[in-house]
Each structure stands twice: as C-alpha cells, then as structure tokens.
Copies of this chain bind each other. A is one copy, B any other.
Amino acid sequence: MKRPTIADIARRAGVSKVAVSYALNGRAGVSEATRANIMAIAAEIGWRPNSAARALNGARAHTVGLALCRPARILGMEPFFMELISGIEAELSVRSYALMLQIVPDHDQELAVYRRWWGEGRVDGAFVVDLHFDDPRVAELEALGMPAVVIGHPSQAGSLVSVWSDDSAAVRETIEYLAALGHRRIARVAGLPRLVHTALRDRAFTEACERLGLTGHAVVHTDYTGDEGARATRRLLSSPDRPTAIVYDNDISAVAGLSVAQEMRLDVPRDLSIVAWDDSPLSQVVHPPLTALSRDIPAYGAHAARRLLDLVAGERVPSFEDQAARLTPRGSTAPPPA
C-alpha cells in the first residue's frame, strides 16, 4: 500500500533508478524503447513524483503563499478577496502551481508565516496585500530575498514588484461626474485610514473637490463593515448642511448607507446620490441598483500571479499598472434636489 517510487519502476523494468529518472523527465540518455517501457510501467502502477524528494534537489516548491491579515468577519463580507484569490488561482493552475493560504491576526504573525514558509522551502514566493505606510513588511521581505509581489501602490513597495491600479483617476472621474450632475456637497465614507490606498483615495478626493470648487467635502473613516458604514452615513445625513452625494469605499458600506438613507426617509437618488467602490452582484441587487466603480478583480489577481511566477522563474519583472476602476452609472445617482 506504499506509494510506488522510481526504484519500484527500475526493478520492474530491469534498469537502474537513473535510467528511470531520465526517462520520466524526457531527458537524453535512454533509448526510445526503454523510455516507452518505463513510461508504461509508471502509468500502470500509478507513480507520482514525490515533491519532497524533488524539492530537496533544489527544485521549486511549485507553491506560492498568501497571508491575509484581516479579521475573519470582514473577510467573509468582502467579495474582493475571494475574487482576487480566484483570479490568482486561475493563473496559477495553468502552470500547476498551488496556493498556500493563511489568515493571520497581525503583521508580525504575517511576517513570521512568510519567514517560515520561505525558510522551510514550502513556497517559491508570496503576495503582499493591504500595504500601509512605512510598512515594515517591505524591508523584511526585501531582506529575506523571497520573490514577492505587492498588490498595491508602488510608492510604498520599495524595491518589490507591484501590481496596482490608479485609484486617484477613478476618484477624479467620480467627483467630476457628480459635480457635472450639479452636486456641490460630496462626502466620502472611506476605509481604514492606515492603508495606503485609502490615503491615496482620500487625497485624490480632497484635491478633486477643491479643484472643482466644491464646498464642504467631508471624509469619514470606517473599518469597511456595514455597521460603521451605516453609522458614518447617519452622522453625515444628520448634519445641518448634509451632503447630496456620498462616495463609499466598498460595496457593503454603500448598501448600509443606502439603507440608512431610506430609513431616514430620503429618496435615493432624488435626495441623495450614492456611489460604491468595487462593483459586485450586491450593488446590482439592491434597490435602486448602485452606481459603482467597477474593475475586473479576478484579472487583477491573475496579473499579480503572472508577475510572481515570472519573478520566481528568475526574470526581471517591472511593476504593472492595471486598468483603473471604471464608473458604471446605475440608479443611485442623479442631480441633487433643487
């Protein structure tokens, strides 16, 4: 009941282990007749290469890692990561690479996991997500020498390769659209302030508002949950000069905001316009369907995976800028009330 090894094949074929190794790897050094015979026996007894034995000879582990540092409850709600992972998978699977996944409580643990994976030879490289400012992970990973691809803005990625998209452009497009509709007071319900992409969006938002001469723009930070999105919305809508449009950093808080508006007897989009970041089935399913900033997240993940595999293969890989999110107008945006 033991797994068959090349020694078993060698015995049955009446040749040496080495001949079997050459034959199975398509290398020169065996006659075609012997090769065919060996292949037939291998197939018959269901031989598989032992990946541990191969890895011992310096071969790649054929696995890359992803450590996610977010509470489980938030991960469950965010379609983003699941879509990202499925995109990564799609690219990995064509090259027969596997994905090692671990959810960690904090960045120290995350680094420990990367160090362990790399030190033990379990992965050939890894992804880094949710970059924040002065992120200690960047320097540590550079020191480790492990191939790594940052999924996020290159400005904080140090010498690591990054795959990113221009959020600022998407923010500008959104604000210009809302301004063109006639909105003057626009608010932004943002995500975690320490994340780089949140700060970049914040700045782009403020700059766009000021450039267009919009008064009273406000930014409220949340932790991406529906609860905090709802609270932020309630606060914004309770102020005397409440905004006529709110831009949310993810879909769950946008939906929560929509709910709050309706609970406060405001009609969307007549009294309040709503824009969600990251389109998802959820945005389209509520009533009215949400105007959203949509992007192809699985493709984003696939791009990152491709870069990482190239990096593992020893190629020089430049950072890659993916398409910016595109504004997809739906029923939740309209001119402000007169």
User: A residues engaging B (CB < 8 A)?
Assistant: 1, 3, 46, 48-56, 61, 63, 72-73, 75-79, 81-83, 85-87, 89-90, 92-93, 98-104, 115-117, 119-122, 145, 225-227, 229-230, 252, 255-256, 258-259, 262-263, 280-282, 284-287, 297-298
List 17 interface pairs A-B (beta carbons < 8 Å), by A numbering. Answer: A1-B145, A3-B121, A52-B56, A52-B61, A52-B121, A72-B83, A72-B87, A72-B89, A75-B82, A76-B86, A76-B280, A77-B282, A92-B102, A99-B101, A255-B282, A255-B286, A259-B285
A103 touches B120 (CB 8 A): no
Question: Is the pair B48, A116 in contact by a Cβ cutoff of 8 Å?
Answer: yes
Residues of B within 8 A of A89 (CB): 72, 101-103
Q: B81, B102, B119, B262: which contacts A82 (Cβ < 8 A)?
A: B81
Q: Of residues A56, A76, A93, A145, which shows the largest number of chain B Cβ atoms within 10 Å of its Cβ?
A: A76
A259 and B286 contacting across the interface, CB-CB below 8 Å: yes
Question: In the bound complex, what is the Cα–Cα distance between A100 and B98 (angstroms)?
Answer: 7
Chain B residues contacting A116 (CB-CB under 8 Å) are: 48
- Whether the pair B53, A285 counts as a contact (CB closer than 8 A) is no
Question: Shortest distance in angstroms between A164's beta carbon and chain B's nearest beta carbon?
Answer: 20
Contact A86 B72 (CB under 8 A): yes
Task: Give A222 to B135 CA distance when docked, in angstroms.
Answer: 44
Tell whether A256 pairs with B285 under 8 Å between CB atoms, given A52-B121, A76-B79, A86-B103: yes
Question: Is A120's CB under 8 angstroms from B48's CB?
Answer: yes
Top 8 A-B pairs ranked by shortest CB distance? A48-B119, A72-B86, A52-B55, A76-B83, A226-B285, A51-B120, A259-B287, A76-B79
User: Considering only CB atoms, which chain B residue lies closest to A4 in the complex?
Assistant: B119
B63→A100 contact, CB < 8 A: yes
**A119 close to B46 (CB less than 8 A):** yes
* Most-contacted residue by chain B among A52, A81, A281, A285 (CB, 10 A): A285
Q: Closest CB-CB distance, A130 to chain B, in whole Å?
A: 15
Least Cβ distance of A79 to chain B in Å? 4
Partner of A72, one of B75, B229, B282, B298: B298
- In the assembled complex, the Cα of A94 lies from the Cα of B285 at a distance in Å of 39
Please indicate the chain B residues that have their CB under 8 angstroms from the CB of A46 in the complex.
119
Task: Contacts A255-B285, A256-B285 known; list 10 others, CB within 8 Å.
Answer: A51-B121, A52-B53, A72-B90, A76-B281, A82-B82, A85-B101, A99-B100, A226-B281, A226-B284, A230-B285
Q: How far is the CB of A239 from chain B (nearest CB, A)?
A: 21
| Alpha-carbon separation in the docked complex, A58 to B168 (Å) | 53
Bound: A101/B78 CA distance, A: 18
Give the residue name and chain of the B residue nearest to A252 (CB): B281
| Alpha-carbon gap, A48 to B77, bound state (A) | 36
A4 to chain B, nearest CB (A): 9
Chain B's closest residue to A251 (CB) is: B282
| Nearest B-chain residue to A301, judged by Cβ | B72
Q: A75-B82, A77-B79 are in contact. Are A225 and B281 (CB under 8 A)?
A: yes
- Chain B nearest CB from A43 CB (Å) reads 13
